[in-house]
Amino acid sequence: MGKLKTHKGVAKRFKKTGRGKIMHGRAGKRHLLTGKSANQKRPMRRQKAVAEVNKEALERLLPYGG
What CATH code is carried by the domain that includes residue 44? Answer: 4.10.410.60
Domain that holds residue 36: 8-61
**Domain presence at residue 28:** yes
With a cut of 80, say whether residue 66 has pLDDT above it. Answer: no
The predicted model gives 52-66 an average pLDDT of 93
Question: Residues 23, 17: contact at Cβ < 8 Å?
Answer: yes
**Domain presence at residue 16:** yes
Closest CA to 59 of 13, 21, 12, 3: 21
Query: Could you say which DSSP state residue 34 is in?
Result: G
Q: What's the pLDDT tens digit per position in 16-58?
A: 999 999 999 999 999 999 999 999 999 999 999 999 999 999 9
Which pLDDT belongs to residue 10? 96
**Domain presence at residue 2:** no
How many domains, in total, are found in the chain?
1
